[in-house]
Every structure is written in C-alpha cells, then in structure tokens.
Structure 1
Amino acid sequence: MRLPLLFMPIAIFGWKRSPDVALHRCVVADFLSNTTLTEMDLAVDTCQRRIIVPGQFSATAPLTNRDEAAKARKIVVNRTKIHMWKDNIPWGTYFIRYAQPEEDEEGNLTLRITGQSLEVYPYLRKIRTTLNYAGMDQLDIARALLNNMASRPESDIGLNLMAGLSGVTRDRTYKAGENASYGTRLEQLANVINGFEYMVRTVLDPDTDQLRYDWVWGYPTLGSPEVVRDITQPGHIKSWAMPQDGTEAGNAWQTMGDTLNDDLGTPSEPVMSLVYEDAARLAAGEPLLDRTETYSSVKLQSTLNAYAQQLRDTRSGPVTVPQIRVRFDDSFSIDPNYLGDRARFTLLNDYYPLDDTGAPTFSRDWRIVGMDLKTPKGEDQEASAELLFEGAT
C-alpha cells in the first residue's frame, strides 16, 4: 500500500515545557558508523512507522541545564540518527534532517528536531549509472538496488537484507539520465501488480545485545495472515475516525512510459498502456473518472499494462483508511513490528449501534499498515498509538 511521502520539516512554535509532558528515551548515534553519541529524554510530538514509505519524526528537547545543552549539540543535521524507545522496545530509527535551537522570552532553551525513518535514505540517493536486470526475481532486483546504493562506504547504512524469493521475475532498466532515486524505483517495483511489501525494522539482536536494521519483505504482503487481533470499543479504543478520500481515486486507469524514438529531430510519443476500467463501479452508477500515472523508464507496454491493472484494482473508488487510537496496558501491547498483521475492529456507539439481534453493526477486519506513537500530555497519562489500516470502501 502506497502512502504519501512528507519531507517538509515540522515546525511547532509557541511550545512551553510543562512537567506534565511525558518524555521518551532517545539514543543519538552517528548515522553511518552507528557510534552512540549520547542519550536524551525527548518530548516526542510525531513518531510514525509505515510500510514501504518513511515515517515522520519530530521532537523537542528541553535544555534545562548546560549538560543537556551539550548533549543537544551532538545532534547534527544529516549526520546523526535517533533510536526512539518505548519501554524496552525500539520503536524506530530516524535520520535527523532538521534542527532548530531556540530560546523564548522567558529564557527557556529548547531544541526542535525532525527526521524520517530509515526507509527515507534510498529516496536521498540517485541512480548515477544505468542498471539492467533481466529475468530476475523482483526481490533479487530490490536487493541489487539496495546493494548498489550501499556500494560506497559513505552510503552503507548497515541494512541486513532478508533473503528469499517471490517467484515473480521482472525485466527492469534504470537509466542514469532519468535522475530517479533508489527509493522511487524500489517503491515502483513493489507497487506493480503481483508485487511485494517491505520496511526497515530496528531490532535488538539477542546475540550481541546491539541494535540492527533489518530490511524485511513480504510477498504479496507483510504480516502474519493467521494472526488477527481483536480491538474493540468499549475496550482498548480511545478514539476513531473513518475518513473517506476520493481525491486520488479513478475508475479508468492508463499508464504512460518512455518514448521509443531516439531521434530528437522527429516527433515522438510515449508508450501508453491500455485503459483498464472498473466495470462494476461504472455499472453501479459512478461517473467516469480518468486517471493517468507516469512511469518514465518503462518502454514495454506489457509492463505498463500491469501497472494500470494494479491501479484499477487498488485505487478505484474512494478509500476509507480507518484511524484508531488504542491504549496500552498489561494485557495489550503493540509495536511497529506488527505492521502487516490484521485486526478485527469492532465499534459500539451511537453512530454504530447494535442491530436488532444484538450484534454490532460495525465489525470488520483490516491490515495494520501504519502506527503513530502518541505521547501523553497534561492529565492524559495513558500511553497510546494511532493505528492506520489498509482501506476498504
């Protein structure tokens, strides 16, 4: 499932440190060498994990004395990363891309930082030499891209690449002149029909007691299909939302690729896929909504057809991506390593009451595809997380 990328810094102004703000243990390390530089307690505002795409991170360090300020100076933009911990679980590792030390009119010193999870790094590296892969398993292509990205010591971030094959072979050519990033090509490779999912997990190695970074994949999806968590209201649900978004949807899809004409002196047109329509939606009364997506490196119509079919099958019609905020306690815990697992989501409230037989009118299964840690503030001292689910109309 593709979620939008957000790379803009998150600036939060007017913040004043409060004793009621919960702090999280964060370990600051050098991005490449993984050398620990210091440890800080941060007020974490945003802490996301996603499948395929990067999760966002933003936090504020209250600099209450000279020692804390010295620790904060060890955080250097584009040089350091932060391991965010919840209890004894590494919630994620984030590449720091923005930092702002400041002092307010009352003399309160703070450092504001933002970054993205390790999935961001391939988006920050461009493919500088043409790469050709013929008849290779799509996961071998993915690993080849990541290994090529890490071929210089200045770009080796220590990913442990999960082995195995999907059984699906692809032909891919990635030209240096296309100015595409490794992240973009990985995302496109995964999001074609019969593709796969991946993410980077920060885990504590039981043998070395050190953190490691595992690039893991799932075919066709991540997660354990046999595991279904029951999440209910009343119960562990604190709040919920059901946004229905049709802005990126269509019911007639076509994809556009590269041009076949290398003669710059003659007119040329790009290769186009066939048009794939969602016949069921049109028959049910939806107006025709055309969408075209561009895949600049593709010259084979068969590959473009596969992309268009995948778009028709996954992005036709409005998408509902349920957002559930859950509380933690001794009987219920969840962390980003559960992304891809399923949950049975049951609501009981005035909008979704019991039916005439006493059964809930809303009880559905969805895959967990995103997770945002919520920091308790003020009187709300319960640890919680917002879960994002794969959509269904």
Structure 2
Amino acid sequence: MLTIYKEKKDITRILWFLLPALAGFAHVLRKDINNYAIYKGVFWHLFQQINLYSLYPKEYIDSNHYGPLFGLIIMPFCAFPDSIGVVLWVVFHAFVLYRALMILPLRRSNQWFVLSICIVDLMTSSHNVQVNPSVAALIILSWYFVKKEKDFWAVLVVMIGTFVKLYGIVGLVFWLFSKHKVQYIYYAFFWTAVLLVLPMFISSPSFVLQTYQDWYNSLVEKNIANQTLTNGISTMQDVSLMGLVRRLSGYPDISNLVFLVPGFLLQLLPLLRFKFYQTQSFQLRYLASLLIFVVIFSSSSESATFIIATSGVAIWFITQKHPVERWVWALMILVIVGTSLSATDIFPKAIRMMFILYSIKAFPCCLVWFVCIYQLLKNDYAEKDAITILSRNKD
C-alpha cells in the first residue's frame, strides 16, 4: 500500500511547500501576523537592548518565550517587508523539516508516506506562523549526525534547539549512540560557548547574560499560567498528558512532577538495552518516542506543537513490521483523526475547541508513546529484520 506514494511524490512535495506558503499569505492578507511580530521583536529588542520578555502591546499581543539566539535566526527575515517575510518564514521551516525527514534511512515510498502523515500538522503550525517544524527537524538531525559519525554537527543542532526553545536539549540522549563520546563532550562545550556569545555581536555581553535569567523567569511564569489559568480550563496550552488528566479529572492542581518523573524514567528505561544501541531500527524507534515525549510531557504544548509529535508517530509507524497489523493501523488512524484533523475545519468549531481545551488532542499521541516504549522494551531488534523495513534501497 505504501508504494503508491512513490508515484505521488511530486504532488506531496508540491503540497508540502505550497500549503504553508498559502497559509502565510492568508495571514498577511488578514493582517494576522502576531506571532511573526513577536519573533521580529526578539531581534529588534536584542539589538536595542531592551527586555525580550516584557509585554509590548503596541507591537504584539502576548510575550516572547524564545532565547536570545532566536534573534539571529529571525534576523535575515526582518530585512523583508512582512508581506514577504511571513511567507518566507513558514516555507523556511517547512523546508528544514522536509530535509530532515527525507534523509531518514527509509525507503523512498515510506519517506513520502511520512510526509503525508505530517502535512496536516505542518499546516496547523504554518497557520500559527510557528517554528515547531524546525524544532522537530533539529531533534531528528541530532540523531542523524550521530549515526553518520558527524558529532560536531550533531552537537551544533542540539545546542541550537536548546538555545532557541529548550526542546532540542533532548537530542543529547543520542550521545549514548555515539562512537566518539569524548569528542562529543568537547564539541558540547565548544558550541555552548559559541552560541552563548553570538548574540552579543548585535547586543552586549551584559545584556545577553541578563537575558538568560529573564528567559528562565519567563518560562517559570508561563508554566504556572499554562496550568492554572481559569482552573486549568480555557487555556489553549497544556495540550499534554498532564493537561489531559488535570482537565478531565477536574483536579487542575496536580503537579507536573507526578507525570514528569515516571515519564522521564520510562523514556530512559529502553536505554538499558545496550546490545541494541547500534541497531538502526532500535535507534529510529527511540527517536520516534523522543519526538512524542517532548510534546506530551510539556505544559507549553499547544495545537501547533504537534507537528513534532506526529513526526514521531510517523517514524514509529514506518518502523513496524510489514504487513502492518490492524491494531497499528487503528492507532495511526486515531492519531490522524484525533490529533491532526481535529484541528481543522473538518470538525465544527465547538468540537475543535473541546479537543484543545480538554487536551483530548494529546490522547492518541499518548497511546502511541506508551506502545512505542513497550515495543522498545520488549521487541527484538535484530538488524536482519530491520533491513526489510528500513532499507534505503529504491522500491
């Protein structure tokens, strides 16, 4: 069934870039570019040396929650009028994720299938002018470069992700798969120093160092607000496992730690299977679980964040033995409908809002994560089995 995507790859590729461009253009026409204004503000406020995390109601609604390095990433786009910059911005992030997914060691037909699974959530992220496609890409690349023994670049993408949105720090776990662990640690110190200093070239050392303290404070405040706003309901964030339990149970004061500690331990538990560290199928499935983990265990997760999780779900699906069992297809369909399509106009607005406000959107990805962890702990990962599933040879 998956081979049909080989014939449709050009259509998939065109839609992958065209739909985000149209989403960006639609926001320009509606003059609804608040998120983009926040992003531009990171650069200008960094340059002007004024607090990156204060409220600027004359410029945009809400506040910034990205690190100072983000100002350098958005800087080239600030040179364009917003009518062009917004479109370029969303297409840029679509391209970064496209490249990351296309270098995965999968059959070509399976790569196009992965793109097709992710395209709806790519649109959701693009409609919010978000950076999440690149966040997913950086996590994928942090594994890919380790696999290719290019640890210098692996550490770079981990640190970029960390200095921009913290999510990327999970890529450090792939150090365990590295064949050059000592060099990896040296590179980590090198890139930390470089990325820490870089924003200082358009600002000042004292301001940038103070900004990191301000960033920490803003994230703490945001985490509290995500959980407690109107008793945990009526916030568009905390679309996570914690939010799901808090909101459906009616107990909004349940601490994140109740979920994070066991979740973190479960995420690490498969890493005790040392004999599979160099097995490609095990590594890919662990990558899939990590992409889902950073979303369903984050109180900052919102609808547009799920492009990260669905990238993981798509990779998990492709690592299944073929023919794919019915229960796997059922889980995949549940994710497509309950996570991806639930954010679109296919569903009435009342239902869409219910899926977000009660964190139901996170439920299918939570199920896949638990299944993925179980498979990582129980399945055998002989390389001879993986070749038939993950071979990069042409179909």
Interval containing the TM-score (normalised by the shorter chain): under 0.3
Structure with the bigger percentage of strand: 1
TM-score scaled by length of structure 1? 0.25
Larger Rg: 1
Of structures 1 and 2, the one scoring higher in RCO (CA 8 A, sep 6+) is 2
